[in-house]
Amino acid sequence: MHVSKKYLLIATILGLVYSCSNSGSEKKEQPSASTGNESGAPSSAYDSVKGAGKFTHVTLNPALDQKLAEKGKAVYDIKCSGCHKLTGEKLVGPGWKGVTERRKPEWIMNFVTNTEEMLNKDAKAQAMLEICMVKMPNQNLSDEDARNVLEFMRKNDGVK
Ligand code: HEC
């Protein structure tokens, strides 16, 4: 059954998150503009697997789409590589190795396009924030580029 798998996944995620060592030198950035005043209690509507945002169904081909992955790499080089390595090692944010295994495609695409809300609502994002000490700024990706980056992440995780 899927539920137990989900918990396994969450346990794995927690393990990985804690490997994101606390060596960051930067301080927390601007507090979010609209702080929820309910002390972070997740609303019952929040989907912790897919995250919050416009992406509720992302369909992936089992095979890699090289074109998308190439465009995604270009986005990575310009907008993401300053904070994310492609290995499992933390830079400012967590390394991307295995990210497509620990997060659903919808979660990733929502996180990169709706970063503030996810950081406010998502327990996994908040756990990363505690360790990384920096709020990932919204990178203003188009939907298309969010998809391209996701494909590049899949490539980085060995999808062929
Ligand atoms: C200024 C630094 C910075 C930049 C630039 C940045 N990120 Fe992040 N990212 C972070 C931090 C820090 C976290 C961990 C969550 C937090 O503390 O906000 C994170 C987390 C993530 C995660 C979740 C990782 C996981 O293991 O679950 C994804 C996915 C992600 N970023 C994608 C991107 C993409 C895509 C870009 C470029 C378009 C990008 N990031 C640019 C700092 C950054």
Q: What pLDDT, on the 0 to 100 scale, is given for residue 146?
A: 98
Q: Does ligand 1 lie within 6 Å of residue 128's CB atom? A: yes
How many CB atoms sit inside 10 A of residue 115's CB? 20
Band the pLDDT of 54: cuts 50, 70, 90: very high
Atom of ligand 1 nearest to the CA of 75: 38
What is the fold of 2-19+63-156? Answer: Cytochrome Bc1 Complex; Chain D, domain 2 (1.10.760)
Band the pLDDT of 26: cuts 50, 70, 90: very low
**Percentage of residues in the chain with pLDDT exceeding 70?**
72
Task: Give the whole-angstrom CA distance, residue 65 versus residue 32.
Answer: 35
Q: What pLDDT, on the 0 to 100 scale, is given for residue 45?
A: 84
Q: Does ligand 1 lie within 6 Å of residue 149's CB atom? A: yes
Could you read off the pLDDT of 100-119 as tens digits, one per residue?
Answer: 999 999 999 999 999 999 99
How close is the Cα of 94 to the center of ligand 1, in Å?
7
Q: What pLDDT, on the 0 to 100 scale, is given for residue 13?
A: 47
Could you read off the pLDDT of 62-80 as tens digits, one per residue?
Answer: 999 999 999 999 999 999 9
Non-local CB neighbours of 149 within 8 Å, separated by 6+ positions: 72, 75, 76, 80, 112, 141
Q: Does ligand 1 lie within 6 Å of residue 125's CB atom? A: yes
Task: Give the whole-angstrom CA distance, residue 136 versus residue 113.
Answer: 11
How close is the Cα of 82 to the center of ligand 1, in Å?
10
How close is the Cα of 133 to the center of ligand 1, in Å?
12
**How many angstroms from the chain centroid is the CA of residue 37?**
24
Q: Does ligand 1 lie within 6 Å of residue 84's CB atom? A: yes
Task: Give the whole-angstrom CA distance, residue 150 versus residue 145.
Answer: 8
Domain ranges of the chain: 2-19+63-156
How close is the Cα of 145 to the center of ligand 1, in Å?
15
Q: Does ligand 1 lie within 6 Å of residue 79's CB atom? A: yes
Q: Is the predicted pLDDT of residue 22 greater than 90, yes or no?
A: no
Q: Whose CA is nearest to atom 6 of ligand 1?
A: 80
Q: What pLDDT, on the 0 to 100 scale, is given for residue 27?
A: 44
Contact 121, 110 (CB under 8 A): no
Q: Whose CA is nearest to atom 20 of ligand 1?
A: 93
Q: What pLDDT, on the 0 to 100 scale, is given for residue 96?
A: 98
Tokens of 78: 């310009």
